[in-house]
Amino acid sequence: MQNETEDALKAINKRTGRNMPQAVATGALLVIIILATLFIKIDVFVILIAVFMVLGLWELRVDFATAGLHIPFITLSICSLASILLTFYAPRPLIAMGLSIMLTAILVVISATVRLSFGTRVPMAVATKLSSSESSARLESSYNHDNAITSKGAFSNVAVSLFTVTYIPLLACFLVLPLHIQRFSIVNACMLVFLPALSDIGGLFFGALLGKHKLSPRISPKKSYEGLIGSMLFAMVGAFVASAVTFDATLWRTRWWVPIMLGILVGIVGTFGDLCASMLKRDLGIKDMGHLLKGHGGVLDRVDSILMCAPFIAAVLILTLQ
């Protein structure tokens, strides 16, 4: 009986591409932490977002360094924290967000042309990353065929730094914008974080049980059209549950379509976000963005779909609930 259980678990792990017991335990811990911050105060939730984004920036710093690319981690971290906090606390959040991201881009472009090195943490992290990456992943990389790290020019560093500004601080600010709708701030926070997570679960569940038609076998062999359908269905169910505790009778009469739209958007965009992250990892020749979250890889492996979905969820919530 025990052997059968172990064999079944190994089969599930192979089919999903991750250690499921670790993934479930880590996911449960993250849910508890997020709910605890919302229970304490919405401000603490915003600080949690900021902390996760700085951790994500560090992961990208190491990931790009494996290809000889440099992003100004300190400048990005300070500017990201400022952008997120200003978007939350400023009286005109949209204007504050726009101006802070513009200033971030300017400072990052300047900083990206100056390469400073402090200690040996980054080289050690890069060596660990390369040693843990599968040889097949490195062979498909545009950079790391022979584990030789060659520093790139200033233009390349500026390009990847601007990409990082768009990928992390800009998208993270959209996680904060819907929190300004005072009446629905906690429910909106839950939808921003948990709808993409539910979409991931639906994709894993349907993909593991029914997945036969590959969505993009070259970029992500585990993704399937059946998984995409599961992602949309799970996100839709989550949106209906959240709407059930949010909408009154008047809102239901005029906004009944919102959960359906959210489910479809989150399912499609979340899957697209996962594929984009997989394409980035494949191009860099690495397996995971990081190793902070057991069973999930790095922080960015966990929040990539959340970040990609944030502008779409924010737009729907702001336009329909204000």
pLDDT digit string (tens) for 190-221?
999 999 989 988 888 888 787 677 877 777 77
How high is the pLDDT of residue 263?
93
How high is the pLDDT of residue 268?
93
How high is the pLDDT of residue 14?
58
Half-sphere exposure of 48 (CA within 13 A, CB side): 20
How high is the pLDDT of residue 121?
57
Percent share of the chain, pLDDT over 70: 77
Are residues 66 and 126 in contact, defined by beta-carbon separation less than 8 angstroms? yes
How high is the pLDDT of residue 235?
93
How high is the pLDDT of residue 43?
93
Task: Report the pLDDT averaged over residues 267-282.
Answer: 85
pLDDT digit string (tens) for 255-273?
889 899 999 999 999 888 8
71 pLDDT more than 70 = yes
187 pLDDT more than 70 = yes
Are residues 267 and 202 in contact, defined by beta-carbon separation less than 8 angstroms? yes
Q: What are phi and psi of 211, to 5 degrees?
A: -60, 115
Reading the block at residue 260, the tokens are 């359906």
- Note the pTM of the prediction, 2 decimals: 0.82
| Structural domain for 316, as ranges | 2-321
Number of domains, the chain? 1
How high is the pLDDT of residue 161?
93
How high is the pLDDT of residue 221?
73
Task: Report the pLDDT averaged over residues 167-195.
Answer: 90
Is the pLDDT higher at 248 or at 164? Answer: 164
Are residues 310 and 172 in contact, defined by beta-carbon separation less than 8 angstroms? yes
45 pLDDT more than 70 = yes
Are residues 129 and 63 in contact, defined by beta-carbon separation less than 8 angstroms? yes
pLDDT digit string (tens) for 220-233?
777 888 888 999 99
Reading the block at residue 256, the tokens are 């009944």
Are residues 127 and 38 in contact, defined by beta-carbon separation less than 8 angstroms? no
How high is the pLDDT of residue 102?
96
Q: What are phi and psi of 272, to 5 degrees?
A: -65, -40
pLDDT digit string (tens) for 108-143?
999 988 765 554 555 555 556 556 555 455 555 555
Cα 277 from Cα 65, distance rounded (Å): 17
Amino acid at 121: R
Residue 77: which pLDDT band, with cuts at 50, 70 and 90? very high
Residues 6+ apart with CB under 8 A from 144: 66, 67, 130, 133, 138, 284, 285
Half-sphere exposure of 110 (CA within 13 A, CB side): 6
Residue 183: which pLDDT band, with cuts at 50, 70 and 90? confident
Are residues 189 and 226 in contact, defined by beta-carbon separation less than 8 angstroms? no
Count CB neighbours of 110 within 10 A: 13
Average pLDDT, the chain: 81
175 pLDDT more than 90 = yes
Q: Strand 214-216 to strand 220-224: parallel, antiparallel, or no bridges (unpaired)?
A: antiparallel
